[in-house]
Amino acid sequence: MHIPDGYLSPQTYAPAYGVMLPIWWRASSVLRKSLRNRQVPILALGAAFSFVIMMFNVPIPGGSTGHAVGAVLVAILLGPWAAVVAVTIALVIQALMFGDGGVTAIGANCLNMAVLMPFSGWAVYRLVARGAPIDSRRHWVGAAAGGYVGLNVAALATGIMFGVQPAMAHDAAGHALYCPFGLKAAIPAMCGTHLLVFGWVEAIVTGLVIAYLQRVEPGLIPAPRTASRSLRNGAGAGARRIGAVVAALALISPLGLYLPARFGAGTAWGEWSADEIAKLAGYVPKGLHHEAWKAPMPDYSLPGRESAPLAAQGVVYVVAAVAGVGLTMLCAYAAKKSIWRKSVEVDSGVDAPADGA
């Protein structure tokens, strides 16, 4: 679902940035007023969780791959505006450091995965779990349903962005300058795989984490009749438990390499190289020849080591996961210094919700 450089025309990615700029400003404004300093570890870990869970490529045997995002989980714990910030940080690190998603497409990818996904999934979660006791199954059921809906909303938006490109920009011969597949191909391809497979992966991940937190750290779950309760123990046991989960995921992240190789799954739809798209479309759109940014570790690997043995690639994959987790957390803490510079810490009573409601 990470749109690469060269797949979207300027007529698409420029407006996406234009839409995201006020959203980023609004998110920082909401969090400045509502999110407390002691909640920053949870925000940082939420960004790290989103980063590392997206490295787990789930294969469709003989087909493509996809992954969970974790945006709805962050929205449930801290509110959707916090998810905007957390997932944006993860997506920017992925694009700049690892070439996972294009630099020109950061606005579009953030719109799909850091805005549409968490807000739609959070709304579903609230609908199902609102007013339920903390130990009610409605929380994890609502979380799973929200994850499923949120990922599919993001997939639909991505399919539309891909699909409008041939009509928006093409040469005299009728060849698309960017993504060569129209709406009739892009929407079924994106929505079909996510409805049937990847949406369920997101649902399972989100539901399982909420069910786990219900048992071991119920204080992290939103209280009944509230949209999202801020965390009183954000820097304590709850953060340590989530940190342990993130660390474990980073260590087993090579599964995101091994499973697609084991089942013969190809590249995720819409993330092909120039050679791959030439085989699929019969030509290479001119836009794909322009590389906007050269990532230091493209595809979470070392440059020129793409043909290294799978075991060696797995080691580098773990290094990339650990580096990415560290960078996302550092960026979250850096955001704390800028966004929350003027915020006032409140250490007693119930904090204001972080969702802006």
Mean pLDDT of the chain: 90
Contacts of 136 (CB under 8 A, 6+ apart): 129
Residue 349 within a domain: no
**Number of structural domains in the chain:** 1
CATH number for the domain spanning 67: value is 1.10.1760.20
Backbone torsion region of residue 319, taken as left when φ is above 0, otherwise alpha when ψ lies between -120 and 50, otherwise beta = alpha
Residue 120 within any structural domain of the chain: yes
User: Can you give the pLDDT at residue 310?
Assistant: 93
Q: Model pTM?
A: 0.92
Whether 351 is covered by a domain: the verdict is no
Cβ atoms of 232 and 352 closer than 8 Å: no
User: Any idea which of 20-34, 35-49, 166-180 has the lowest mean pLDDT?
Assistant: 35-49
175 inside domain: yes
pLDDT mean over 304-318: 90
pLDDT digits (tens, 9 = 90+) for 78-100: 999 999 999 999 999 999 999 99
pLDDT score, position 349: 40
- Residue 352 pLDDT: 43
Q: Is residue 352 part of a domain?
A: no
> Is 1 within a domain?
no
What is the average pLDDT across 287-298?
Answer: 86
Residue 232: pLDDT over 90: no
Residue ranges making up the domain that contains 197: 10-339
Checking if the pLDDT of 351 tops 50, the result is no
Q: List CB contacts of 242: < 8 A, sequence separation 6 or more.
A: 42, 45, 46, 49
The stretch 302-309 carries a mean pLDDT of 84
Lowest mean pLDDT among 244-253, 306-315, 348-357: 348-357
Residue 65 pairs with which residues in a beta bridge?
59
Planar angle of CA 75, 84, 1, nearest 5 degrees? 95
User: Is 9:177 a contact under the CB 8 Å cutoff?
Assistant: yes
Tell me whether residue 88 is in a domain.
yes
Mean predicted confidence (pLDDT) in 312-321: 96
Mean local confidence (pLDDT), 46-61:
96
Q: Is residue 118 part of a domain?
A: yes
Residues in a beta bridge with 59: 65
